Amino acid sequence: MKDFTGKFAVITGGGTGMGRELARQLVAEGCNVAMCDVSAANMAVTKSLCEAEGAQGVRVTTFVADVSDEAAMNAFRDAVARDQDTDHIHLLFNNAGIGGGGGFVSGDREGWERTFNICWGGVYNGCRAFLPMLMAAEAGHIVNTSSVNGFWASIGPNTPHTAYAAAKFAVKGFTEALITDLRLNAPHIKCSVVMPGHIGTQIISNSRKVLTGDDSDTLSDAAVAQARARMAGMMGAAAEGLSDDQIHAFMAEAARRFHEDAPMTAAAAATVILDGVKTERWRILVGDDAHRLDALVRETPEAAYTPEFFASFAAEVGWIVGG
């Protein structure tokens, strides 16, 4: 699929981050875009940007949906057919995801399962819902967003990260298995797994809002307590001495730094992804840090989860050592 002009694309998580930038770049190339997100307000911003920048006559539609809810994703599919006036799509970007979830041993089960069900379930539900519309097209491409945590299950030696990593491993394995499945049963459809490193997005603040159900920018008492518990795992007893205001400031600064100080922007990441689709790469690493981490894990897999491995890698690529 060398040209997106006149094609139909579906994007989950289109309200912010890479989803927004994928939508903007696709409409600029003349592609019709249907997006979903849990935030109508964020999607409205994306749609406004797309309509201001996109090619004339391109259709941009939005739908509020939680990707972990199969019925909601089926309703999104029906809305795409209706609002885009089409019985087929060419591109499916299962991009929606959140961070968090924490540890399996001592973490909160509800938060763990919420993270896993969005990051993995969203990909599964998206593929299930839209496969018939992809089958109806003359050519199609499924793009599933995993992470470097889909081949390296860590964000540091002092921070449990099992929910997110398990989900992203599932996304990677599922997409690789689809290569053969599609070749045998739907050869006109290709697939790619995207594995970004540190990309400047609002995933930290967005994830908190999804996991707590609180859309405000001020942390609730429950959110402060959860943040304090997570910080205790990194800082030990020192976290107990922090005030609620200090916890809030720490979290806000972490979100700001992740977004603004990242080595790669969401727009640059979207360009890499779309270039990968055009060249039919099934494996799309995004960012120099992703490429370097991939090489290091392959070189020394037995050492990949040692503190020394993380410290060396973080120093080399400029990751902030916080866990």
Characterise 85 by phi-psi region: left (phi > 0), alpha (psi -120 to 50), beta (else).
Answer: left
Cβ-contact 123, 98 below 8 angstroms: no
Cβ-contact 153, 165 below 8 angstroms: yes
Please give the sequence-ordered ranges of beta strands (E in DSSP) within the chain, or none if there are none: 8-12, 32-37, 60-64, 91-94, 140-145, 189-196, 199-200, 264-265, 283-286
* H-helix or E-strand spanning residue 165: helix 162-185
Whole-angstrom Cα distance, residue 156 to residue 260? Answer: 21
Whole-angstrom Cα distance, residue 95 to residue 195? Answer: 11
Q: Which of 164, 169, 174, 310 is catalytic?
A: 164
Whole-angstrom Cα distance, residue 7 to residue 78? Answer: 18
Catalytic residue at 164? yes
Residues 6+ apart with CB under 8 A from 253: none
Cα–Cα nearest to 33, from 71, 73, 87, 89 = 89
CB count within 10 Å of CB 68 equals 23
* H-helix or E-strand spanning residue 59: none
Whole-angstrom Cα distance, residue 21 to residue 37? Answer: 14
Residues 6+ apart with CB under 8 A from 5: 29, 30, 31, 55
**Residue 75 burial class via C-beta count within 10 angstroms: exposed 0-12, middle 13-18, buried 19 and up:** middle
Q: Any idea which residues carry the catalytic annotation? A: 164
